[in-house]
Amino acid sequence: MKLTKLLASTLVGVSLLAGATVANAGEITVVSWGGAYTKSQVEAYHKPWMAATGNVIKSEDYNGGVAEIKAQVEAGNVSWDIVDVELSDAIRACDEGLLETIDASTLPAGADGTSAQDDFIEGTLHDCAVASIVWSTIFAYDKEKFPDAGPTTMADFFNVAKFPGKRGLRKGAKVNLEFALIADGVLAKDVYEVLATPEGVDRAFKKLDTIKGDVVWWEAGAQPPQLLADGEVSMTTAYNGRIFNAVAGEGKAFEIVWDGQVWDLDLWVIPKGTKNKELAMEFLKFSTATEQLAAQASYISYGPARKSSSSLVGKYHNKDIDMGPEMPTNPDNLKNAVQNNFNFWADNADQLNERFNAWLAG
């Protein structure tokens, strides 16, 4: 009897205490892609926000996709409060009712006074998602492997005879099929038109066939710079910011080839039913403000989604490197570039990934 009483009073005490802390400062779980990218977000968004509001951020890593969000929302047990996702995933999850809707008119105006709707680049605001960055899948090579003349075009990536060595590619159909078509001579602007036809898909797989035996497949964004550094591959597709950080931060001799880059958006979404919706929303507004987006661009070479941030983008945070030319949206880098077509992939990802898996196993 006595023990029960003691237990009960302890429990009450503890819960009161816990209640008190919650009232003072909240805690939210922010989920992103890990490595150099998460680090840039921690520096530019998390730390200033925690300092300004006294709230605590728990940072978690994942490898993309909406599987965890779906599982959490459907089980009614949401532990991720705000998640950084790709555009096609944001659209799909929103369509399936897994995300809270976000009213773009509540976002803060830009530093120059333009309203959020006008300040954000076209196509970066959606029913359930607000973009923070423009990133790109490019290919990069190790300069030490090609001291004389390195590859300069997407076709070179697929030319194992002229540029020997293993290739790294992300495991999945998305982006690889686009790259294959560009390497096969399709113009960047026509890629999805060709890919929408069965012949176009066959053509892409046929091109991939030519390097299949030389490919090392990667899944997490941190892997490709590692594969290059270990000498496991001589060139690899990668997220441009990861390669930039390996060069700027760790002094690696990697070179990015922008020809045929496929650029995409990363957006914040809030899983439906999170208990910290208000706080998550507060963090979302804070982190997508003009200054924060510009600040994050000084830690990694991903372009800010606000126009008003562009003029504030300066140098790499601790080195004398201009960030402008490193951005996917830099005009020089956009000469032969594709914007990832989320509608195409929303429709065709199931089928093309199935074929990709069969192709991989065969």
93 beta partners: none
How many CB atoms lie under 10 A from the CB of residue 255?
A: 17
Q: Is there binding between residue 66 and other proteins (CB under 8 A)?
A: yes
Among 56, 104, 121, 216, binds other proteins (CB under 8 A): 216
Among 28, 81, 92, 208, binds other proteins (CB under 8 A): 92
Q: Are the C-beta atoms of residues 273 and 161 closer than 8 Å to each other?
A: no
Q: Is there binding between residue 230 and other proteins (CB under 8 A)?
A: yes
Q: Is there binding between residue 197 and other proteins (CB under 8 A)?
A: no
CA atoms within 13 A on the CB side of 325: 5
Identify the H or E element spanning 51.
helix 47-53
Nearer to other proteins, 46 or 92 (CB): 92
Among 12, 17, 67, 187, binds other proteins (CB under 8 A): 67
Report which of 6, 229, 282, 269 is spatially closest to residue 132, judged by C-alpha positions. Answer: 269
Q: Is there binding between residue 65 and other proteins (CB under 8 A)?
A: yes
Report which of 35, 357, 31, 32 is spatially closest to residue 223, judged by C-alpha positions. Answer: 35
Nearer to other proteins, 95 or 250 (CB): 95
Q: Are the C-beta atoms of residues 285 and 104 closer than 8 Å to each other?
A: no
Shortest Cβ distance from residue 350 to other proteins (Å)? Answer: 6
- Site residues (CB under 8 A) for other proteins, limited to 291-350: 343, 346-350
Binding mask 98-137 for other proteins (x = CB under 8 A): x---------------------------------------
Selected range binding other proteins among 36-44, 90-98, 149-157, 248-256, rule: CB under 8 A: 90-98
Strands 338-339 and 254-269: parallel
How many CB atoms lie under 10 A from the CB of residue 106?
A: 10
Residues that bind other proteins (CB under 8 A): 65-67, 70, 73-74, 92, 94-98, 216-217, 230-232, 272-273, 343, 346-351, 353-355, 357-361
